[in-house]
Amino acid sequence: MLTLSETAAALQGAAKVVITAHVNPDGDAIGSSLGLMHLLRALGKDVTVLLDDDIPAAFSVLPGYDVIERPREGEAIACDVFVILDTMSDRIGGTSGAVRARRILNIDHHHTNTGTAGEELYLDGTRAATAEIIYDLAGALGVRPDAAAAACLYTGLATDTGFFRFSNATAHTYRAAADLLEAGAEPHVISEALEVRPLQTVRDLAEALSQMELFADGKACGIFLTQAQTARMASTESFIGHIRVIDGVDVAVVLKCKEPELCRVSMRSKRVDVSRIAASFGGGGHVRAAGCTLTQPFAEAKQTIMDAIARAIREDWTA
């Protein structure tokens, strides 16, 4: 495990840096990647951000959105330091094969991150977002975030805390946010841009809500999307927030069937440790927000996750 100053020193000593984050990138993955890019460019480094996925258009409000690249098959970028953010290296898609680095740094806030051989880990599970760690890192690097870095890092803080409402938002998170505002981040511009949805996504939400199912004596609620629905729906990330608020529901789950025998699971909770449920299937995350992949057909995967959640509630798997 690296210290923050060792992490800063590794970056300070690099001329060429490649940054990546997890597939299906969220506000923290994108915000922390672009935020770190702006900080390192201010220090004169040559920086590339590589993400192996489509970047939702809503994030075009972030300075640097246009320079994000996708890894190209058969082409490897050589660099001094390769930085993996907001995940272990098992969720970066084709980026792992597209970079040749002297050192690999993994910077994350997921307590389920166990580290990877050959990589150097800086993990701070007390931080609400990887962007909050990048904010700490700016201090260790002695660089003040400019307005571009501030907007990106603020976005990571805001999105991973449900806009400062979840229990992971600490006094440090709020202080970091205040400091980023002084550096030029504009919360209303960012939240308005991130709230915009295509009409079809709201229609998809209505369809999803119409088929939600309560289980575990009403303590859990799930939306289970077949492969056809998953393929048709462009954006489903917001769905889970609409069922986690139901009175009496501890665990909310959204299951999406992506391939005949591959289903993605997202979970949110008020009490139960859903990272433990996710970890039991090889996934991970946080106590109140976690996910995993089940390599089963739709109906079986649905039963598997319902049984696991019901058991966790019955046996009171709290952190």
Q: Which residues bind ligand 5GP (CB under 6 A)?
A: 87, 91, 110, 112, 266, 283-286, 289-293
Helices (H), 87-146: 130-141
Q: Give whole-number Cα distances, 57 to 25, 195, 224, 271, 317, in Å.
A: 12, 12, 25, 33, 38
Structure tokens at 62: 């972030």
Instruction: Choose between 7 and 87: whose C-beta lies nearer to ligand 5GP.
Output: 87
Bridge partners, 222 (sequence order):
213, 253
Contact 234, 198 (CB under 8 A): yes
Cβ nearer to ligand 5GP, comparing 16 with 258? 258
136 near Mn ion, judged by CB under 5 A: no
CB of 267 to ligand 5GP, least distance (A): 7
How many residues comprise the chain? Answer: 319
Per DSSP, what are the bridge partners of residue 99? 77
Q: Nearest approach, Cβ of 124 to ligand 5GP (angstroms)?
A: 14
Tokens 């051989």 correspond to 117
DSSP 38-56: HHHHHTT-EEEEB-SSPPP
Are residues 129 and 109 in contact, defined by beta-carbon separation less than 8 angstroms?
Answer: yes
Q: Which of 7, 14, 18, 26 binds Mn ion (CB under 5 A)?
A: 26
CB of 130 to Mn ion, least distance (A): 5
Q: From ligand 5GP, Mn ion, none, which one binds at residue 286 (CB under 5 to 8 Å depending on kind)?
A: ligand 5GP
Angle ∠(93,94,95) on CA atoms, nearest 5: 95
CA distance 306 to 281: 13
Query: Which is nearer to Mn ion, 129 or 301 (by Cβ)?
Result: 129
Whose structure tokens read 């075009």? 60
Min separation Cβ 93 and Mn ion, Å = 14
Rounded least distance, CB 131 to ligand 5GP, Å = 13
Residue 289 touches which member of Mn ion, ligand 5GP, none, C-beta under 5-8 Å by kind: ligand 5GP
What is the smallest separation between the CB atom of 228 and ligand 5GP, expressed in angstroms? 21
- Please identify which residue in 52, 132, 136, 160 interacts with Mn ion, judged by CB under 5 A: 160
Indicate the residue among 52 and 160 with the shorter CB distance to Mn ion.
Answer: 160
Q: How far is the CB of 160 from Mn ion (least distance, A)?
A: 5
144 contacts 35 by C-beta, under 8 angstroms: no
To ligand 5GP, the closest distance from the beta carbon of 160 in angstroms equals 7
Residue 29: contacted member of Mn ion, ligand 5GP, none (CB under 5 to 8 Å, by partner type): Mn ion
Q: Which one, 13 or 282, has the nearer CB to ligand 5GP?
A: 282
Among 29, 62, 105, 223, binds Mn ion (CB under 5 A): 29
Asked if residue 69 lies in contact with residue 48, where contact means CB atoms within 8 angstroms, the answer is yes
Measured distance CA(284)–CA(276) in Å, rounded: 7
Judged by beta carbon, residue 170 or residue 293, the one nearer ligand 5GP is: 293
User: Count H helices, E strands: the chain?
Assistant: 11, 11
The whole-angstrom separation of Cα 255 and Cα 252 is 10
Q: Which of the choices Mn ion, ligand 5GP, none does residue 132 contact, using the CB cut-off of 5 to 8 A by kind?
A: none
Applying CB under 5 A, the residues found at the interface with Mn ion are: 26, 28-29, 86, 129-130, 160
